[in-house]
Structure 1
Amino acid sequence: MALVEMVQEVFAPGGVLARADTHFQPREGQTQMAMAVAHTIEAGGALVVEAGTGVGKTFSYLVPALLSGERVLLSTATKALQDQLFARDLPRLAQTLGLPVRMALLKGRASYLCLYRMELARQDVSAREPGVARVLAKVESWSHGTRSGDLAELTGLDERSPVIPLVTSTRENCLGSQCPRFRECHVHLARREALAADIVVINHHLFFADVAVRESGMAELLPSVRVVVFDEAHQINETGVQFLGLTLSTGQLMDFGRGLLAAGLQHARGLADWTGLASQVDLSARDLRLAAGDMRGSAKLRWTDETPESVRPDEWQAALRRVALACAQAQEALDTVSEIAPDFVRLYERGTELLARLAHFSGPGNPDAVRWVDVGPQLRLTESPLDIAEAMRTRLLATPAEPVGDDGWPGEPAAGPGRAWVFTSATLGDDEQLSWFTERAGLQDAQILRVASSFDYGAQAALYVPRHLPSPADPSHSMALARWVGEAAAQLGGRTLVLTTTLKALRTIGDALKAQFAGSAALEVLVQGEWPKRRLMERFREGSEHGQQGCVLVASATFWEGFDVPGDALQLVVIDKLPFPPPGDPLVEARTQRIEKSGGKAFKSYALPEAAVALKQGAGRLIRRESDQGILVVGDTRLITMGYGKRLLAALPPMRRLESEPEFEAALQALTRASTTAPPFP
């Protein structure tokens, strides 16, 4: 039986899924997507699927992938979805289908405990601090019982903990096969399991890190895989450009200096002035940061000439030379002791790489890339391609499944259909060809499928734009919006998520709401950055359960997507402004200039689609299941007063419109009376 027919039977009424789960309901869109994925697996090629919220896209690609019998690589944007696929969805579905499948989970090395680094951590100065020492002891105790070494197993470990970089390795400091704990290495064991598995779950960062530097073990894995699925595919362009470019940070330099000092004092004390050498690296890195100017907060400096904007050329070049001299002196010392310990060999390689990057950034930039400097507590020099289209076309999509060439990548075409690529997300564009995604990913020739959401947005959700709010350009906008949100949230008893487009608005709205509800027993105001992200999400999902206060969460950036709050805990989503790309961002400017130079209109073909996709992602936080109800508020009157607002409105789910404040008040009151188990509000 053909794969397409097998898949159709699984999703049919009375099929395997229906028999295994009495709550399963066949959905036309889910079946349509599953059959398209099956056809692509059989024929090879690329398929791009935008599957609206509620379609059930995960099963739509997992069922044909499992039934195909092929080796499959599944890539997600987040570790959370990685863990969900590996621990819940894949095992449950494989059992339902009766398929004996070997599965493996592979993350980046920063997710795994490094046993050797953990031993070294005891000697680190920061390990003497009581808080750090306590967490380190907890990690050491856990290390004796873990098999995978995945730090996600360690409950209560803050993702911002200073212990994590002490007990994990990086590409720069890993000793590889020369490590004294290599046989027990959790990263190495995870890669071995991945090479032996039928289904491997990875993330986009890991995938593109390997495309760039061949470091993650993917170079051995990818050639043997016939099916590659990217879930949350809308993130692959921004993830890809991070790794396909070149970066040099003062953090890397200072970490090199710390490694130099630690290894020197441990293995070769007295053979070189390790303290002095490390100090020179550290001081030169700090001088480079100071050469960029005394700026509070963070900023991005354009770098179109010899030096970044607003930076004095003589000071900048002198600072780069001091860094190069400090690294070169360290290299000389390392060269004399390289045979004593593998740490020195790896440090020498790191120093060589740092010197190469310094030489690159001391010269002219690549005309096909954009350069800039991120100025914050650290300094980061970046040169990046504008998108991943060229890399996708020449290094990935053009490659067949097998065999492997001398360079570790596939060589001549294999017999049978080529590799199948599936790219899917709930948001991939605002036009029929999904050009926002396909053009940047080099997928203009891919098959396109758009599957609408199964939710009844007209009955479940409403859209409101408060007309009385000041213009977004008015400095009083954020404060006015905060006052309005406070009144609405108070009526609703919390259950409110405020998504901001800037960190400045995040702080202004968050502070205003905290002041408004200070000492209130009714509402708790949560602000991104004050707690770890995981803790914020857990507290917000709890809502007013168990007698707790209702919650208002003010967030930005990562909370616009991947934040899933089904049920009563979230019924009001407020977006402060239309999410146009920041005009001062060097990457945005370079993309805009490229379009203008080619005769295009950057606002229409770049800024507007960017805003449409981001707006759609933010709106997607509201309705997560068939029984949810809620209101989406966009605090930007341009959505209804400007001509381009029609295109942005068309990108949103087909919610009913609330035209006045009384209509909004009525809808809000209906939500306070109802729960998501009741019929939709009128």
Structure 2
Amino acid sequence: MSDFPENSGNLTVFHDVEEYLGQNGKIARTDNNFVFREGQLKMALEYQKTLKENSSLVCEAGTGTGKTFAYLLPALLSSKTILISTASKALQDQLIQKDLPAICNILKIPHNYMSLKGFSNYLCKDKYYELSNKFASSNGLKLDDYIDESAKKIKNTEQIERNKSDIELLDDDSDLKKGVITPEIMAKLELLVEKTDLALQSDNEIDFCEVNSKFDSVVVSKVTMHREYCKKRKCKYYDECFCYLARKKATSSKVVVINHSLFFSTMDIEDPFNFLCPPVMLPKYRAVVFDEAHDLPSVGREHLSFSISLYLKKCFQEDVAFIVKTLVDVPVKDIIEAYNQIITSLESMHSYLLSRQPYADGPKAHINFYKYEDYFQSDDPFEEYKVVSNQFRQRMVDLYSSFLSAKKLFIAEKELNEDFFESRIIMFSEAISTIVNLMTLDKKDNENAGKYVGTVEVSKKSFKLQLTPLEISDKFGSFIKKCENNNVSTLFTSATICIDHKFNKFIRDIGANSSVNCIEVESNFDYEKQTAFFCSKDFPKAEDSLRISKIICMLEDLINNVNGGVFLLTTSVSALKTAYELCIEKFSKKRAVLCQYRGLSNSNMLLEFKKSGNAILIGTASFWAGVDVPGKALSLVIIDKLPFTSPSDPLFKARCQSYDLKFGKNKSFAHLCVPEAVIDLRQGAGRLIRHESDVGGLVIADPRILSHSYGKIFLHSLPKMTVCNTTDDVLQFLKQSTNS
């Protein structure tokens, strides 16, 4: 019997969302902590209408709206099977561990939901028991000696629920030493496996032994399996395999939460619209929610790309170990020779690229820089270069030939293990196709010309040749169209979709119909009362080589006197390094100074920042988004520069060139460069106010936001804050707002 009534025709709605989220609704009457949010109710009502009509909705919901409840409540009331895709695994965990249980308890409905992650996130019993046996025999240890007595209680199924707190030890990574498998780690793994097996027997909520979020990457690599090495039905643990059990449960769950990366990975293997086509890992959903939807274009471009790198060397070593261990009658010598030919070609390419690369660990370069001796920067994406670099061409030919030889060998031996050899044949075919496309992408008769860009990334340790689509609008737009034609409703939501309160850019990026319903829901926060904004025309210009030191000197008194923690967000690693050295010199006696890439992981750095209460955290890239520090621990956010993508970035440059060819010369600045910088700025600024009681200051240390015409677009896209003329005004605002 289904937990929810399913109606594939007209939508059955049990209750209107206003009965729950209204000022005098059921939640308000039963939860003293409930805060009525007009925007939340507006979004929920609009999404409920979308679900009824099987249509699409794009919704920007400002920070503090409570957008998760606003879409979960109507989704669960709808009786539909729901797929939720969000930006990261951390957000998946938040939905599963916090938001969905809360909503299900409010609605008094079964907890029929689960999180599904990629294959190699789950513990592989075959690898785990092999590791466990080796560890026990080499150490002469009984793992039970290391399992905490309180944790042993979990073996009693009757105490699983009331002893959940005992399992918190699994999240403690204080005893993990990189590269060392300790008795404590093995004990924690054993406990986790036992806990999961018991949960499967009792049909409790389980995570199917997902280990990525609980253990160090070295430990994870020892106990997880890449999909191509899986023995599938030949494995003695197949019937109890956590990964396949997770996939099986997902296909029959009412709500499945995945991340955008997994969504794009499944696009070509799942057909949710054909009920005669059996599901692989996702249910036949009738509604899909894309949370943090602003990340879809960038994640999509990355996952729809093709690459060749020196990483394949490690992959081939694992292949050989797998073949020797599990396959019989396989010509191992021939396979090793084929792999060695590819590795030799890869290493030769790496050496050549390093000889051409004027800097170590530099940015990506357009592949034409290496393909042509007469290459120069040009605004014409179809520049006809004349002088081919024979050295680079020969290395690409060698790569092509080595992959082709390996492919022929694997085709001949395919019957020995169809799953494994087929996966490698596909890999070799993609590599061959990528090489051909990279070498002919600038030719007008190449069907991918103007749709993809070829790039080369070089470091001391590796390199990557990559073929990346300029946009996802064609492929993703086709998916949206199929949803419309098959009565599958779609919701795209994020706190940062609009540019100056307009949706045009996002709609174009995802390939949606221009007539799609779009709504903007204002934040529940009172930014004028909660946030002081400061910028000055006296800040140094973006091209000033001493700008970071000048900015910190200008803000020295503010940083010294602000009561709480400080985020300094930079737009480059070089700015990050300079800022760190100056902050250590000026502030380290009074405040802890934490900096990205200085030993601590991002998560540990954030924990130290929160614990300190008045630290300075200097970060770039990953700290602009998805970081949540409510309260006084974060009282000031300083953004060093408007986050324009570097015009030398080959992917971004190719996208701009393509846009200009379609819509007119120099149109890309207004319709690509500025909008994408606006979204990034809004994400960075959004780190400041995370709760109704938060108070803080935002400093944008780039005078262009005041002096250039496009600056108005940035300002109009930010919340309406109290504008301060001096840093003293910022301090006064913070003091008064904190005391009031």
What letter matches 1:169 in structure 2? M
Given that residues 306 and 434 in structure 2 are in contact (C-alpha distance below 8 angstroms), is that contact kept between their aligned partners in structure 1?
Answer: no
Q: Map 1:222-371; keep pairs closer than 5 Å.
A: 224-264=284-324, 267=327, 272=333, 277-293=338-354, 294=357, 295-303=359-367, 307=371, 313-328=389-404, 330=406, 345=421, 348-349=424-425, 352-353=428-429, 355-361=431-437, 363-365=439-441, 366-367=448-449, 368-371=451-454
Does 1:54 find its partner at 2:81? no
Partner AA of 1:373 in structure 2: V
Distance 2:501 2:318 in 1: 53
Contact 2:500 2:713 in 1 (8 A): no
Task: After TM superposition, list the pairs within 5 Å mapping 1:371-386 onto structure 2.
Answer: 371-376=454-459, 377-386=461-470
Equivalent residues in 2 for 1:440-451, closer than 5 Å: 440-443=509-512, 444-451=514-521
Q: Does 1:604 align with 2:670?
A: yes
2:569, 2:639 within 8 Å by CA — same for their partners in 1? yes
Verify the 8 A CA contact 2:13 2:79 in the aligned structure 1. Answer: no
Q: Distance in 2 between matches of 1:213 and 1:372?
A: 27
| Deviation (angstroms), 1:658 | 0.8
The equivalences for 1:637-648 within 5 A come to 637-648=703-714
Partners of 1:63 and 1:130 lie apart in 2 by 43
Equivalent position of 2:194 in the other structure: 145
- For the pair 1:621 / 2:687, whether they are aligned, the reply is yes
Change (3 A) 1:508 1:123: farther
Contact kept, 8 Å, 1:429 with 1:437, in 2: the verdict is yes
- The letter for the 2-side match of 1:381 is L
Q: State the Cα distance separating 1:360 from its structure 2 match.
A: 3.4
* Range 615-624 or range 261-270, more displaced: 261-270
When structure 1 is superposed on structure 2, of 364-373 and 619-628 the one drifting more is: 364-373
Q: Distance in 2 between matches of 1:357 and 1:179?
A: 33
- Alignment RMSD, CA only? 3.3
* Residue aligning to 1:405: none
In 2 relative to 1, CA 18–247 (structure 1 residues): closer, same or farther, beyond 3 Å? same
Structure 1 distance, partners of 2:332, 2:128, is: 26
Q: Secondary structure at the match of 1:594?
A: helix
- The total of aligned residue pairs comes to 647
> What is aligned with 1:392?
476
Equivalents in 2 of 1:513, 1:205: separation in Å?
A: 36
Alpha-carbon shift at residue 590 of structure 1 (Å) = 1.6
Distance 1:497 1:84, change over 3 A: same
Check the 8 A contact 1:171/1:215 in 2, yes or no.
Answer: no
Q: How does 1:476-515 map to 2 (within 5 A)?
A: 476-492=546-562, 495-515=565-585
Take 2:258 and 2:563, find their aligned partners in 1: how far apart are those partners?
A: 40
Task: Provide the C-alpha distance between the structure 1 equivalents of 2:303 and 2:366, rounded to a whole number of angstroms.
Answer: 20
**Partner Cα separation in structure 2 for residue 221 and residue 276 of structure 1:** 36
Is the deviation greater in 207-216 or in 96-105? 207-216
Q: Cα gap change, 1:492/1:353 in structure 2, threshold over 3 Å: closer, same or farther?
A: same
Matched, 1:204 2:260: yes
Per the TM alignment, residue 2 of structure 1 is displaced from its structure 2 partner at its CA by 7.2
* 1:150 Cα offset (Å): 4.2
Counterpart Cα distance in 1 of 2:685 and 2:315: 41
**SS of structure 2 residue aligned to 1:627:** coil
CA distance in 2, matches of 1:245, 1:35: 38
Contact between 2:247 and 2:280, CA under 8 Å: does it hold in 1?
A: no
The Cα of 1:643 is off from its aligned counterpart by 1.9
Match of 1:552 in 2: 616
1:662 partner letter: D
Amino acid at match of 2:720: P
Mean alpha-carbon deviation: is it higher for 363-372 or for 319-328? 319-328
Taking the aligned partners of 1:497 and 1:510, their CA distance within structure 2 comes to: 12
Instruction: Give the secondary structure class of the aligned counterpart of 1:429.
Output: coil
Name structure 1 gaps, 5 residues minimum.
402-412, 545-549
Q: Give the residue type in structure 2 aligned to 1:132.
A: G
Equivalent of residue 545 in structure 2, options 460, 471, 475:
475
Q: How much does 1:305 deviate?
A: 8.4
Higher mean C-alpha deviation, range 362-371 or range 202-211? 362-371
Q: Gaps (5+ residues) in structure 2?
A: 1-10, 140-175, 197-206, 377-386, 442-447
Change (3 A) 1:582 1:175: farther
**Counterparts of 1:525-544 in structure 2 under 5 Å?**
525-529=593-597, 530-544=599-613
Does the Cα contact within 8 Å between 2:229 and 2:420 map onto a contact in 1? no
Separation in structure 1 between the aligned mates of residue 321 and residue 626 of structure 2, nearest angstrom? 41
The Cα of 1:265 is off from its aligned counterpart by: 6.6
Counterparts of 1:123 and 1:284, CA distance in 2:
39
Deviations along 1:373-427, one digit per CA (max 9) or x if unpaired, are: 2223322222222222111222x122258xxxxxxxxxxx66xxx1110010001
AA paired with 2:639? Answer: I
CA distance in 2, matches of 1:240, 1:513: 37
User: Is the partner of 1:469 in helix, strand or coil?
Assistant: coil
Contact in 2 for aligned 1:175/1:346 (Cα 8 Å): no
What is the Cα deviation at residue 122 of structure 1? 9.1
Q: Secondary structure at the match of 1:272?
A: helix
2:594 touches 2:616 (CA, 8 Å); kept in 1?
yes
Shift in Å, 1:289 = 1.9
| One-letter amino acid of the structure 2 residue matched with residue 507 of structure 1 | K
Contact kept in structure 1, 2:367 and 2:438, CA below 8 Å: no
Task: State the partner residue of 1:133.
Answer: 180
The one-letter code matched in structure 1 to 2:465 is L
- Distance, in Å, in 2 between the alignment partners of 1:2 and 1:184 is 37
Residue 144 of structure 1 aligns with an amino acid whose one-letter code is V
1:398 match: secondary structure: helix
Distance 1:665 1:446, change over 3 A: same
The normalised TM-score by structure 1 is 0.86
Secondary structure of the residue aligned to 1:145 is helix
Q: 2:105 matched to 1:95?
A: yes
Structure 1 vs Structure 2: percent identity of aligned residues? 30
Matched ranges for 1:77-116 at <5 A: 77-116=87-126
Secondary structure at 2:617's aligned position in 1? strand
Q: 1:154 & 1:592 partners in 2: Cα distance? A: 38
Task: Give CA-to-partner distance per residue, 1:317-350, whole Å, 9 cap, x none.
Answer: 3223333444455556656766666785356435
CA–CA distance in 2 between the matches of 1:213 and 1:245? 17
Q: Secondary structure at the match of 2:532?
A: strand
Query: Matched residues in 1 for 2:262 and 2:33: separation?
Result: 36
Of the three residues 411, 436, 460, the one matched with 2:505 is 436
Q: Do residues 64 (structure 1) and 124 (structure 2) align?
A: no
Which piece of structure 1 moves more, 493-502 or 109-118? 109-118
Q: Deviations over 1:247-267 (max 9, x none)?
A: 222213541244225523775
Query: What corresponds to 2:496 in structure 1?
Result: 427
Q: Give the partner amino acid of 2:562.
A: L
Q: Equivalent residue of 1:397, what SS?
A: helix
- Contact 1:256 / 1:351 at 8 angstroms: preserved in 2? no
CA–CA separation in structure 2 for the residues paired with 1:180 and 1:320? 43
Relative to structure 1, is the Cα distance of residues 344 and 77 closer, same or farther in structure 2, using a 3 angstrom cutoff? closer
Give the superposition deviation at 1:219: 5.5
- Judge conservation of contact 2:115–2:257 (CA < 8 Å) in 1: yes
Instruction: Pick closer, same or farther for the CA change 1:152–1:555 going to 2, 3 Å.
Output: farther
